[in-house]
Amino acid sequence: MAEIQDINALADRIPDGAHLALPPEYSFVPMQLVRCLIRRQARELRILCVPLGGLAVDMLIGAGCVAEIEAAAVSLGENGLAPRFTDAVLSHRVSMKDSTCPALHTALQAAEKGVPFMPLGGIIGSDIAANRPDWRIVDDPMGQGNGRILLIPAIRPDFAILHSPLADRNGNVWIGRRRELVTMAHAAKQTLVTVESFTDTDLLADEKTAAGTLPALYVTALAEAVGGARPLALTGCYERDDGAIAAYAQVARTDAGFADYLARTVGAHAPEAAE
């Protein structure tokens, strides 16, 4: 049975060194939970972007929480490069495993099926594959004349985290058409969810809502977090705060500007300032 608790208790479930899957910027990002992780000075996290990273990843990197990132790309979308990510990768302060979107989806699909790897078309000849010793290129084992094919190992993250508009008291979580959240939850060992609100109505009781629901079966614990995706968008609830993200893109270019941003918006100290 999924447990409903305080958001800080939810964040405390994620230990240092955890392998953490994060949704892409346009899709249910648990920003408030990320801010809790920064406040409690989480360290050595391994972040799996499904498949793209943005503001959440950039803040976690800047706050010194991250050892490794795997992503198809990390940026602030219309607001340009992710400044803390760019700086940390160029100076080798975090390890970046470059991937490509369908490889990340495929790795999680393999995990949700409980198989050790899955094949994926394309990609052969890309330097992405050349720099991934964990990937394998084999001759088509079925002999159907398709030539060589890439095998992607399953990824089973310790945690998937997400923020949704709504969950019911049983821990069933509304995800609408963002099915990558279901794949993430199936693949992860545990899924932690924050929500705008809880409803007394069972989301699985009506076929219309059941089709867009992540069942509590896959959910470990939940917490309420009003405005929990801000300043990013949450479908049907609020828009992306472009001004706030543009301002972040500007100030986070420098260590001092980022430290000041963290102090103001998270109430946390950047790693340098804390020591």
Partner 1 sequence: MTCKPEEFQISVLAGLLNQPHINHVAVGAASPIPGAAALLAQQLGGGRLDVTIIHGNANNAFTDGGRELFDCAGQGRIDAFFLGGVQIDGQANINLVGTGTYPDLERRFPGSFGSAYMYFTVPHVILFRPEHSRRVFVEKVDFISAPGISPPDVHRPGGPKSLMTELCLMAFDGARGRFRLVSVHPGHSLEEILDNTGFSFDIPDSVPETQAPSEAVLVQLRSVIAPEIAKTYPGFASRVFAITPEIREFEENVR
List contacts with partner 1 (CB under 8 A): 24, 26-27, 50-52, 71-75, 77-79, 81-82, 86, 89-90, 92, 96, 98-103, 105-106, 109, 120-129, 131, 146-149, 177-183, 235, 242
Cβ nearer to partner 1, comparing 98 with 255: 98
| CB of 139 vs partner 1, minimal distance in Å | 8
Q: What is the DSSP string of 166-232?
A: EEETT--EE-TT-THHHHHHHHSSEEEEEEEEEESS-TTSSHHHHTTEE-GGG--EEEE-TTTTTTS
Q: With contact defined as beta carbons under 8 Å apart, do 5 and 195 qualify?
A: no
Cα 22 to Cα 19: distance, rounded to the nearest angstrom: 10
Least distance CB 70 / partner 1 (angstroms)? 10
Q: Which is nearer to partner 1, 183 or 220 (CB)?
A: 183
**Number of C-beta neighbours around residue 124 at 10 A:** 13
Q: How far is the CB of 59 from partner 1 (least distance, A)?
A: 16
Q: Can you say how many angstroms the Cα of residue 185 is from the centroid of all Cα atoms in its chain?
A: 11
- Cβ closer to partner 1: 128 or 273? 128
Beta bridge pairs of residue 73: 52
Written as six digits, the tokens of 257 are: 């500007």
DSSP-assigned beta bridge partners for residue 131: none
Q: How far is the CB of 1 from partner 1 (least distance, A)?
A: 26
Task: Decide whether 1 or 90 has the Cβ nearer to partner 1.
Answer: 90
Helix axes 255-265, 242-251, angle to 10 degrees: 140
Q: How far is the CB of 113 from partner 1 (least distance, A)?
A: 13
Phi, psi angle pair for 268, to nearest 5°: -125, 160
| Residues 22, 28: Cα–Cα separation, whole Å | 9
Nearer to partner 1, 28 or 261 (CB): 28
18-42 burial, b at 16+ Cβ within 10 Å, e below that, comes to bbbbbbbbebbbbbbbbbbbbbeeb
Q: Shortest approach of partner 1 to residue 268 CB, angstroms? A: 25
Closest CA to 164 of 146, 149, 185, 147: 185
Least separation in angstroms between residue 51's CB and partner 1 is 6
Q: Which is nearer to partner 1, 146 or 201 (CB)?
A: 146
Nearer to partner 1, 9 or 210 (CB): 210
C-beta of 262: minimal distance to partner 1 in Å?
22
d(CA 17, CA 68): 10
